[in-house]
Amino acid sequence: MKGPLVIVGDALLDIDLEGTASRLAPDAPVPVLDGLVEHPRPGGAGLAARMAAREGHEVVLVTALGTDDAGDRVERLLRADGVRVVRLPFDGPTSVKKRVLGSGQPLLRLDSGGEPGTVLGVPDEVRRVLTGAAAVLVADYGRGVTASPELRELLTSLPGRTPVVWDPHPRGSEPVPGVRVVTPNAAEVAQLCDRLGIAAHPGASTLAAVGQQAEALVRHWRVQAVAVTLGAGGALLSYGRGTPVVAPAPEVHAIDPCGAGDRFAVTLALRLAEGTVVTEAVQDAVVTAAHYVAAGGPSSIAPDQGAERRASDAPTSVDDLVRSVTARGGVVAATGGCFDLLHAGHVATLRAARRLGDCLVVCLNSDASVRRLKGPSRPLVPADDRVRVLEALECVDAVVVFDEDTPVETLRRIRPHVWAKGGDYAGTDVPESAVLAEWGGQAVALPYLEGRSTTRLVRAVNRTVNEKESTR
């Protein structure tokens, strides 16, 4: 990526007050929270900046913060993450959103400083930052940044080669003309279209209505495309004409969707900065947002005690998933193998393994590892493709590739509660049993689906080819 990701928008201070909810109050049917701990983090455009910085990207945040303690706190948190903060002169307060959570479940939100302010000018530094950007993400939270005429003029005049992603807000300003992609969610589309008098066909299905409204918004805003996020339904991408593209989301279990829209928009902007075409960038953004909420949403990004960590130390999605499941008392199941030419036996084993826990992590042999185990003619399918096939299965929550002959070190990293092997190990010692015992895990053997194996498939194919060759 040549240049930083520049994020322009309203930064907030988000605070999670989290405790353990194990009993009800004697005088009212409400939970009592014990052991309250405060976790502050940047919110709004600040959360988007933190996400990108934790991945190792150069990030500049152009934002308006109040001259108050909350504003200074947001800036300190961001700078600790390596984000360069450019503050706009602003006459409003810093917005603070405080969530109260019991055992990870949001119970209540308390907001303060919600009055929008006015940006009192745009420093020359902002023009220099925007000119050197690899991509620009506008994170509009309706607090006044995107209403600045000077800033809007600068965004409108950006060269066509600079992709601009605009994440809108019903109380915010309209995107400037020429934006590459606008990313409202379905509820925001409904509100925006209602305000603009844009109606879908009376008999249209929900998806058809969203498509018609997105197409109308492309024309109204004079932007290149609108990608409507649909939660578990993925995203619908419209170019204002022709058939829209729907990018489906993987099925995940999510308790806290907070920040999913920011995760989608950040990934989209980064992929466009790398030169990815819009349809592929939207699909990548959908998958990344799904993994983000599955990993626990905001809790997957370390709170302030870890704010000094750099992106190179940030956990992967597999680590986030395992941490999230374990934190809520769930069971992590894992299995492993080459999974070269996925067949019915593989699927039966994977489904059975998934039923042993609340998530399933597949430890996959790398190409080099498969060659050492199976010979120089294998694998038939490269690791990247094997990962994609496995991730497409509803019973698989995450895949991690290992390069050693055995997944022992990977198991030490993820520490599953259960390690499942195929039924051909029944009654024998599973090689990984000893390492599972280090943390009290259990290795088990699963029923074997007779007659299914990749080796048999390869032999059958070779036999068929040879028979055809001999008849020529």
Residue 26 falls inside a structural domain: no
Domain check: are 366 and 297 in the same one?
no
- Residue 254: pLDDT band by 50, 70, 90 thresholds? low
Residue 281 falls inside a structural domain: yes
User: Which residues are registered as beta bridge partners of 360?
Assistant: 333
Q: How many residues does the chain have?
A: 472
Q: Is the confidence at residue 174, as pLDDT, over 50?
A: yes
Domain assignment of residue 424, given as a range: 316-458
| Strand 11-24 relative to strand 31-44, pairing | antiparallel
Q: Is the confidence at residue 277, as pLDDT, over 90?
A: yes
The number of C-alpha atoms within 13 Å of 441 and in the hemisphere containing its C-beta is 29
Handedness of CA 54, 58, 118, 196 (dihedral sign): negative
**What pLDDT does residue 57 have?**
93
Looking up residue 100, the CATH number of its domain turns out to be: 3.40.1190.20
| Residue 319 bears catalytic tag | no
- Residue 453: pLDDT band by 50, 70, 90 thresholds? low
Domain check: are 269 and 221 in the same one?
yes
Domain check: are 260 and 366 in the same one?
no
Domain check: are 91 and 222 in the same one?
yes
Cβ(400)–Cβ(359) under 8 Å? no
Domain check: are 364 and 248 in the same one?
no
Q: Is the confidence at residue 358, as pLDDT, over 50?
A: yes
Boundary (domain end) residue, out of 305, 335, 367 = 305
- For 195-227, b/e burial (b = at least 16 CB within 10 A) is eeebebeeeeeeeebbbbbbbbbbebbebbbbb
Looking up residue 369, the CATH number of its domain turns out to be: 3.40.50.620
Domain check: are 237 and 283 in the same one?
yes
Q: Identify the CA nearest to 302 among candidates 470, 36, 53.
A: 53
Domain check: are 323 and 217 in the same one?
no
Residue 30 falls inside a structural domain: no
Strand order in the sheet with 442-445: 398-402, 359-365, 332-337, 418-421, 442-445
Domain check: are 72 and 216 in the same one?
yes
Residue 342 one-letter amino acid: L
Residue 184 one-letter amino acid: P
Q: Is the confidence at residue 306, as pLDDT, over 80?
A: no
Residue 472 falls inside a structural domain: no
Number of domains the chain is built from: 2
Rounded mean pLDDT, 427-445:
82
Boundary (domain end) residue, out of 281, 305, 329 = 305
Average predicted confidence (pLDDT) for the chain: 86
Residue 392 falls inside a structural domain: yes
Domain check: are 49 and 79 in the same one?
yes
Please indicate whether residue 457 or residue 356 has the higher confidence score (pLDDT).
356
CA distances from residue 229 to 51, 158, 224, 285 in whole angstroms, order as listed: 19, 26, 17, 10
Rounded distance between C-alpha atoms, residue 380 and residue 454, angstroms: 10
| pLDDT single digits (tens) 95-116 | 999 999 887 778 889 999 878 8
**What pLDDT does residue 452 have?**
53
Cβ(244)–Cβ(236) under 8 Å? yes
**What pLDDT does residue 315 have?**
41
**What pLDDT does residue 307 have?**
36
- For 364-401, b/e burial (b = at least 16 CB within 10 A) is bbbbebbeeebeeebbbbebeebbeebeebebbbbbbb
Residue 28 falls inside a structural domain: no
Residue 428 falls inside a structural domain: yes
Rounded mean pLDDT, 173-181:
95
Domain check: are 107 and 218 in the same one?
yes
Residue 232 falls inside a structural domain: yes
- Residue 313: pLDDT band by 50, 70, 90 thresholds? very low
Q: Is the confidence at residue 405, as pLDDT, over 80?
A: yes
- For 297-308, b/e burial (b = at least 16 CB within 10 A) is bbbbbbbeeebe
Boundary (domain end) residue, out of 305, 335, 353 = 305
Domain check: are 83 and 125 in the same one?
yes
For 13, the token pair is 């201070």
**What pLDDT does residue 471 have?**
66
Rounded distance between C-alpha atoms, residue 11 and residue 139, angstroms: 9
The number of C-alpha atoms within 13 Å of 353 and in the hemisphere containing its C-beta is 36
Question: Which one of the listed residues 16, 140, 167, 262 is annotated catalytic?
Answer: 262
Lowest mean pLDDT among 281-290, 408-417, 444-453: 444-453
**What pLDDT does residue 445 have?**
80
Domain check: are 194 and 220 in the same one?
yes
**What pLDDT does residue 459 have?**
62
